[in-house]
Structure 1
Amino acid sequence: MTTEKRVALVTGGVQGLGAAAARALAEGGASVAATHLGAGERADAFAKETGMPVFEWDVADYDACAEGIAEVEEALGPIDILVNNAGVNRDMMFHKMDREDWDAVMRVDLGSMFNVTRQVIDGMRERGFGRIINISSVNAARGQAGQTNYCAAKAGVEGFTRALARETAGKGITVNAIAPGYADTPMVGAMPDEILDGIVDMIPLSRLAEPPEIGRCVRFLASDDAGFITGTTLAVNGGLRMG
């Protein structure tokens, strides 16, 4: 299940699940680049530790994506594997949410699907190969109070995945999504203990996911072994939502 000799780009790839995906792809033999926005010292530390090139731009900005991906391809070559992982959350109950809270999540979590993928899709079609892996969430299908913006965006990610998979299947490109459950990341760890304990109590496997478990799923979908899988959402949630 290697990704040897492929060039991969992971957005939001210097921390959390994105970093786990970048590491897993590199372990499979891919040349990997990661993006961030404002990660500063954390991004520098990741680049130093892994040896991966790190690029900074806003995935919510179409022109910045075009310029940034041109830089990545100049440094590493044409992108074969794209992991659309970058995301934000502005969690609050809907009756307290303002337009900026809604728009911020839509621009990054959903808008980036177009902004980033549009830059690589023509090259993938011309070369007759591509792996696009979009990071969704268990809450896209499950729903979660306080996350109407996030759940709507992630549900859109899954619809985008299925439609693009149909368009590109004849060109040797697979497009899939991964819907992780709650993972042991700094964002989840920042939750109050009582809320986090309640979440773990709902998970049949009685624990959070380890980020490398999600990373290995990304690597599998990017590999030749997954060449007959497209248009699907892989649920990796410990049984929190089954079906």
Structure 2
Amino acid sequence: MNVEQMPDVTARAARHAALGDPSRLHIIDLLTLGDLSPSEIRAVLGLSSNLVAHHLNVLESVGMVERSRSEADKRRSYVHLTEVALAGLLPGRTERASRVLFVCTANSARSQLAAALWATRSDIPVASGGTHPAARVSPGAVAVAERHALALSDVTPRPLDAVRGESDFVITVCDNAHEELGVAGDLHWSIPDPVRIGTDVAFDSAYDELERRISELAPRLASR
């Protein structure tokens, strides 16, 4: 796995630590809507002035808030979020890939759906394969793809050995395939096999989980 270390991880950790206090998190929530004076913050939170001052000092020390003097009453100040207050709190782009390869056992449902979904979310090439490919794509997978207006990009199950390249970023979407490969992939998503259950609900659940994970991963995966 090609993991790039985030250069600002220490700063991110400090901001997360600062937000670990409910009152400070509440202050940040308030400031996302507008600027407030310390006395206004005190009124909303119901805290003493010295405790509000402490919380603001902590948030200021990690670069999340700034204070400016009121142009009207010079004795008054307003607190506002800095431009980078919320930047980087969620993980950024941490991986690179020349091609993404989704793998399950039969290459008849989960990996096929994943590859088709990936093509709608990223320009990085994608393929799919199976450790023991079935003769055809599951009708349930075809049906759920049609329900979501998703075109299956590869309608013929293929063996993993025939499609896998040395530089592929491998994502197993099947526990059996993951364990059979000896945990050799880059990522593993433990998604229940909808073919085994066979219901529309099972296929919809697998589709929704794949869509969620792909939507989260695609912005974090850079082309290599």
Which band: TM-score by shorter chain?
Answer: 0.3 to 0.5
TM-score (norm 2): 0.38
Structure number with larger C-alpha Rg: 2
TM-score (norm 1): 0.36
